[in-house]
A and B are shown apart, each in its own frame.
Chain A
Amino acid sequence: MMDKPWNNKAWFFILPVLVLVLFSSVLPVMTVVNYSLQDSMGVNNFFWNGDAWFRDLLDPGTEIGARFADALLRTFAFSFAALAVEIPLGIAIALCLPRRGWAVGISLVITALPMLIPWNVVGTMWQIFARQDIGLFGAALTGIGLPYNVTQDSVSAWVTIVVIDVWHWTPLVILLSYAGLRAIPDAYYQAARIDGASRWAVFVNIELPKLQKVLVIAVLLRFMQTFMIYTEPVVVTGGGPGSATTFLSIDLVKIAIGQVDVGSAAAMSLVYYIIILTACWIFFTVMTQLERRGDS
């Protein structure tokens, strides 16, 4: 790691990426910053508004502040619920996947398929699947006597969104864990067999520590994606019933495009983005620490 040559000309290699990302990331973010500090009286008539949008947003006493706090809490709860199911399930299924033979290819293709379906199609698919009249899932749950109704009952709506996310994204955790498991040399397993270690002992002492790095990546990616969830709930529940499944992204789009309240939306965007950057930075630090420990 340490013997990389110092060469500032390497910047030329980065230049194309830099130009592209400046255009597609920095420019839009600066536009948002601009909106967040101004108020508008009709088209193209802006005046300086200081930090007023932010003060309203972060004060739960105001209407927008209460709404933001609710959505934030809801989003965290959703991320937590989804991760709590997806990570253990993903590891468990990865352990079940065959290591070699004809079944590997077909299992991986089936596992990965949900991730390649456009997100609103995932929503549509589940909207149909969860209906009581024509959907298997809804009909089966109603059939066994559960009070299931996605559009009327907030518990049903919540459960459905979590089930969709688990269906949609556990494959990512599975494939990451599977890749990590395959990187463990056979010698480790042989040594364990000689020692007469139980299956559980092999998992705790060999597999889990070796999976640490991939699991950090898995948690990071899944946390970010659940925290930004938009398309599936919009299609399936439309954020309802009431505002039971109105997560941050949905609220943001409602305020920005539905109510054309650009100032509030921009302030909300920035706070939202800062939360994500902070989480990202924490994960990144943990990851590089792990890598450094792995190198030494």
Chain B
Amino acid sequence: MRSTIAPRISLIIYLLALMLPVYWLINLSLRTNADIMSGMALWPHHPTLAKYRAIFADPTWVHAFGVSLSYVAINTVISVSVALPAAYAFNRYRFVGDKHLFFWLFTNLMAPSAVFALPFFNLFYAVGLFDTVWAVALAHCLFNVPLAVWILEGFVGGVPREIDETAAIDGYSFPRFFLRLFLPLIANGIGVTAFFCFMFSWVEQLLATTLTSSNALPFAAVMTRSYSASGMDWSLLAAAGVLTMVPGAVVIWFVRNHIAKGFALGRV
């Protein structure tokens, strides 16, 4: 029997170190500015939820939170639904240019946002989508669609081809087979893919802030803005920061059992 103490202790130390900056943010968010500036405190001695209340009472913050969630949701739905048939085709058939196409999609996953910021700005301005949630949702398709194809292709590969053939023999038409039989089989894969689309759209800020100005400003951008506007309201900044972690934490809790598999991108 090998000792399991050392790995356990290292793991706990690592996880604690990981949580330390997060804890510090929560700590500051529960203190008043005067309290913060008066000296270091490892935990809030007089915890107050005043800043959270202030954020929820301010329509700008609430609106921005809705904006962030809506472009992430639109993007996730678009990405997963267009990627599904493509992933099926890449896995099941060979066709002219399939390998090159797959590689080209893959390269878009690596596209640097900084390169795309300016042309996207011009493009969405020209078609009148600037400062709408649609601009951000479509811009994020740049990396989320290839990502979704890549992950889903692995999950499609996990379904034996005999199932397709049996369904055809049983007289299922293709759309009926795909929607009624095939999609339920890769439901886990769809969940994991949606999680990744959510994640990358939620965290990306360079494009999201470039493509919006007032109407569709994302939550995290309002945060940066209030930063310069109100001097240094550390406590408010910390409270807003803590709130941006909530959706991620909720979503991650739901997919916790599939995360590891999803991170292997279903391909290994």
Contact = CB atoms under 8 A, between A and B. Distances in A.
Interface stretch (A53-61, A80-88, A105-113, A145-153): A105-113
A78 interface: no
A9 B237 CA distance: 53
B10 A125 contact: no
Given A13-B85, A13-B86, A14-B89, A111 B18 contact: yes
Contacts of A253: 114, 117, 206
Interface in B81-119: 81-83, 85-86, 88-90, 92-96, 98, 101, 103, 105-108, 110-119
Contact of B18 (A125, A137, A167, A199): A167
A284 B248 contact: no
A219 interface: no
Task: Say whether chain B's binding surface is mostly helix, strand, loop, or mixed.
Answer: helix
A252 B259 contact: no
Contact of A117 (B7, B24, B37, B203): B203
Contacts of B139: 24
B260 A116 contact: no
B89 A10 contact: yes
B149 A120 contact: no
Contacts of B238: 128
Contacts of A24: 138-139, 141-142, 145
A214 interface: yes
Contacts of B199: 115-116
A230 B94 contact: no
A118 interface: yes
Nearest to A29: B119
Q: Is the interface of A mostly helix, strand, loop or mixed?
A: helix
Contacts of B224: 120, 124, 235
Interface string B201-214: 01111100000000
Contact of B244 (A114, A117, A176, A281): A117
Contacts of B90: 14
Contacts of B73: none
Contacts of B21: 125-126, 129, 137, 167
A69 interface: no
B114 A96 contact: no
B133 to A, nearest CB: 15
B8 interface: yes
Contacts of A6: 93-95
B94, B139, B223 pick with most chain A CB within 10 angstroms: B94
A172 B145 contact: no
Contacts, number: 262
Contacts of B116: 28
Interface residues of A, number: 93
A4 B25 CA distance: 53
B93 A119 contact: no
B239 to A, nearest CB: 12
Nearest to A112: B252
A113 B205 contact: no
Contacts of A252: 114-115
The residue in B11, B238, B247, B265 that gathers the most chain A C-beta atoms within 10 A of its C-beta is B11
A172 B259 CA distance: 11
Contacts of A125: 21-22, 24-25, 241
Interface in A26-50: 27-29, 31-32
Given A118-B202, A217-B265, A256-B118, A93 B10 contact: yes
A122 B116 CA distance: 22
B244 A118 contact: yes
B118 A224 contact: no
A282 to B, nearest CB: 12
A178 interface: yes
B27 to A, nearest CB: 9
B50 interface: no
B165 to A, nearest CB: 11
B230 interface: no
A243 interface: no
A96 B7 contact: yes
Given A23-B138, A117-B248, A179-B263, A31 B122 contact: yes
B20 interface: yes
Contacts of B7: 95-96
Nearest to B227: A124
A284 B106 contact: yes
Contact of B111 (A25, A108, A230): A25
A115 B106 contact: no
15 contacts: A5-B92, A10-B89, A16-B81, A17-B149, A109-B249, A110-B15, A120-B224, A128-B237, A134-B40, A134-B234, A175-B263, A199-B2, A213-B268, A217-B268, A224-B110
Given A5-B92, A7-B94, A136-B20, 8 more contacts: A120-B205, A133-B37, A137-B21, A175-B260, A230-B114, A256-B117, A257-B118, A276-B107
Nearest 4 pairs of A and B residues by beta carbon: A116-B248, A179-B264, A28-B119, A13-B89
